[in-house]
């Protein structure tokens, strides 16, 4: 995955207030206003896209993209990329762009529900709804559009009229007067489900940089000619103390912890005030993401009978196994640890949860850690037209 952070060097345009990630299959279009540099970068891109092509093909590609880049720069696009995939022997493509809508210093912060109402009024033929991303709420607009393509852009070489599927995600930057607009478009409507899911995964990696005034955090070690860079841990402010999850998620964590406690049936003294808190899961941390995507509930039972611990873990393993959980190391007699994850075989209410339990015989203590599913890997909301 590539991390995108817009540059502001040498320009008076507002800096992009978020970072996001795109799959490595995407080719990034250079958005550079220096024509000489742009032509050279487009030539490299043409060779990357068509490695077996000729000088004539590369020249034609550069000429075609020059106008497209000019149009995107004029429209304030900060990122543009596209993919070319081979799906069951057929070429398939989609493009993604990102831009910033700055409401100005005097405007108030944008409310997502008001934004949805405005989009629905402006585009009555479109499907508009609110979705929850890892970074917060966003407005989504889905619009099919008929477009006439010239012959040099079609496989047949003849002008064709095609339907372009478009998704626009408007993400109001929390606490600021800016809206980040992410758009996906594809003429390959047979692959619409694939691209809508892929796009949902992209916008679900959005992280607000947290710089004052909506500015992005500078990327250390940036080298000229590179328009995207991985964000180092120092580039994104770390949370000083864990934040509590939403009320709904907190209730779910307590509910699951209660069921685990019942299954253990272990006598002892429960730790008081063990509050759930938000975390970044290991998978997202490995991708360089730092914003919260999951929640964790740690609790323990003190002063329990050491002789009862292995049996309690065995009971818990049997309970989880019967519920469709995948128990990594089933608790056997004398065992002191247990780990389990709820996968596809488990019910919808527990799918994606994970639990680890450790018994400390000498300290007469049992420790439990319950982790909720990662919101970035979750599907689009049930019944949603998005994905």
User: How confident is the model over 187-216, as a mean pLDDT?
Assistant: 78
DSSP track, 19-49: EEEE-TTPEEPP--S-HHHHHHHHHHHHHHH
Predicted confidence (pLDDT) per residue in 283-303, tens digit? 887 777 777 888 999 999 999
If one compares 384 and 142, the residue with the highest pLDDT of the two is: 142
**Distance in angstroms (rounded) separating the CA atoms of residues 180 and 178:** 7
Distance CA 85, CA 24 (A): 12
Q: What is the pLDDT of residues 245-273, one digit of tens each?
A: 888 888 889 899 999 999 999 988 887 66
- 3-state DSSP call for residue 353? coil
How far apart are the C-alpha atoms of 150 and 157, rounded to whole Å?
Answer: 8
Averaged over 13-34, what is the pLDDT?
A: 84
pLDDT tens digits for range 208-217: 875 434 333 3
Helical spans, DSSP H, in 154-281: 192-203, 247-264
What pLDDT, in 10s, does the model give residues 97-140?
A: 999 887 544 445 678 888 888 898 988 888 999 998 888 889 99
The helix or strand, by DSSP H or E, that contains position 313, with its residue range, turns out to be helix 309-322
Q: How many CA atoms lie within 13 A of 178 on its CB side?
A: 20
User: Does 346 have pLDDT greater than 60?
Assistant: yes
Look at residues 194, 229, 225, 231 and name the one whose alpha carbon lies nearest to residue 30.
Answer: 225
Q: Is the model's pLDDT at 238 over the cut of 60?
A: no
Report residue 221's pLDDT band, with 50, 70 and 90 as the boundaries.
very low
Cα torsion through 247, 252, 257, 263, rounded to 10:
160
Global pTM?
Answer: 0.66
Answer yes or no: are the C-beta atoms of 347 and 324 closer than 8 Å: yes
């Amino acid at each position: 995955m590539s991390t995108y952070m817009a540059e502001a060097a040498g320009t008076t345009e507002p800096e992009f207030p978020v970072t996001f990630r795109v799959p490595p299959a995407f080719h990034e279009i250079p958005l550079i206003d220096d024509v000489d540099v742009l032509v050279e970068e487009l030539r490299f891109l043409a060779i990357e896209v068509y490695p077996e092509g000729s000088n004539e093909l590369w020249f034609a590609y550069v000429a075609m993209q020059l106008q497209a880049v000019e149009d995107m720069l004029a429209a304030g696009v900060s990122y543009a990329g596209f993919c070319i995939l081979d799906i069951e022997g057929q070429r398939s493509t989609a493009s993604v762009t990102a831009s910033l809508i700055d409401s100005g210093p005097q405007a108030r912060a944008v409310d997502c529900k008001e934004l949805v109402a405005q989009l629905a009024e402006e585009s009555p033929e479109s499907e508009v709804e609110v979705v929850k991303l890892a970074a917060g709420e966003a407005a989504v607009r889905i619009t099919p559009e008929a477009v006439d393509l010239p012959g040099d852009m079609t496989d047949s070489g003849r002008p064709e009229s095609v339907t372009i599927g478009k998704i626009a995600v408007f993400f109001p930057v929390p606490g600021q007067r800016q809206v980040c607009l992410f758009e996906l478009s594809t003429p390959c409507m047979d692959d619409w489900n694939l691209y809508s899911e892929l796009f949902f995964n992209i916008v679900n990696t959005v992280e607000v940089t947290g710089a004052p005034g909506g500015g992005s955090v500078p990327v250390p070690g940036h080298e000229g000619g590179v328009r995207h860079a991985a964000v180092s841990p120092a580039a994104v402010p770390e949370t000083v103390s864990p934040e509590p999850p939403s009320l709904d998620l907190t209730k779910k964590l307590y509910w699951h912890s209660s069921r685990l406690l019942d299954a253990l049936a272990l006598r002892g003294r429960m730790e008081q005030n063990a509050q759930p808190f938000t975390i970044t899961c290991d998978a997202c941390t490995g991708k360089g993401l730092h914003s919260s995507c999951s929640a964790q509930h740690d609790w323990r039972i003190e002063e329990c009978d050491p002789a009862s611990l292995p049996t309690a873990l065995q009971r818990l393993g049997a309970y989880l196994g019967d519920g469709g959980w995948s128990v990594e190391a089933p608790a056997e007699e004398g065992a002191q640890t247990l780990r389990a994850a709820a996968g596809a075989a488990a019910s919808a209410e527990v799918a994606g949860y994970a639990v680890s339990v450790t018994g400390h015989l000498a300290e007469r203590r049992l420790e439990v850690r319950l982790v909720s599913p990662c919101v970035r890997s979750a599907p689009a909301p049930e019944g949603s037209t998005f994905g």
